[in-house]
């Protein structure tokens, strides 16, 4: 763990290295009961991208956060651990351009079929069509 923040009671953030993401998610699901993935969110920050995996268990919300290099926005898929992540990863792929290695289908989810390839609406410095 790189960093931990307790924002308020029952709301915790932990930052982990990108290469440990899948192991951390798997441990949280299998050993600590965080089986509900609320969503995956992402944003540009600190010269790169940050992804937040929001999990819940019994009223506790735990967000696992990782830095993803902007020049190579690649993260491991967690769809083999939490199958419901398939849609959230597609959404992040559409809007921020993160490639999820091992994802079964990164076809566009939100963007229209004629949307220009490589243009991601939530990435700064790029114009949305």
Domain borders along the chain are 3-101
The predicted pLDDT at position 127 comes to 42
The predicted pLDDT at position 2 comes to 66
Here the tokens at position 40 are: 């995956």
pLDDT at 108 over 60: yes
- Angle at 8 (CA atoms; ends 41, 14), nearest 5 degrees: 45
Report the alpha-carbon distance of residue 47 to residue 16 in Å, rounded. 18
Tell me the mean pLDDT in the region 82-95.
97
C-alpha distances (whole Å) from 9 to each of 39, 54, 117 are 20, 16, 42
3-state secondary structure at position 112: coil
The predicted pLDDT at position 9 comes to 82
C-alpha distances (whole Å) from 48 to each of 23, 54, 86, 89, 102 are 22, 20, 23, 18, 22
| Cβ–Cβ < 8 Å for 43, 49 | yes
Tell me the mean pLDDT in the region 26-44.
97
C-alpha distances (whole Å) from 66 to each of 88, 112, 127 are 16, 28, 26
Name which of 5-19, 27-41, 53-67 the model is least confident about: 5-19
pLDDT at 60 over 90: yes
The CATH topology of domain 3-101 is: Beta Polymerase; domain 2 (3.30.460)
The predicted pLDDT at position 70 comes to 84
Tell me the mean pLDDT in the region 78-103.
97
């Amino acid at each position: 763990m790189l960093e931990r923040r307790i924002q308020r009671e029952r709301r915790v953030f932990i930052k982990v290295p990108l290469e440990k993401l899948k192991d951390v998610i798997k441990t949280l699901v299998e050993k600590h009961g965080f089986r509900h993935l609320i969503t995956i969110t992402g944003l540009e920050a600190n010269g790169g991208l940050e992804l937040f995996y929001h999990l819940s268990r019994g009223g506790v919300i735990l967000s696992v956060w990782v830095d993803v290099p902007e020049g190579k926005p690649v993260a491991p898929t967690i769809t083999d651990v939490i199958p419901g992540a398939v849609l959230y990863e597609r959404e992040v792929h559409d809007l921020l351009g993160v490639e999820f290695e091992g994802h079964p289908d990164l076809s566009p989810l939100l963007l229209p079929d004629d949307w220009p390839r490589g243009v991601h609406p939530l990435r700064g410095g790029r114009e949305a069509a």
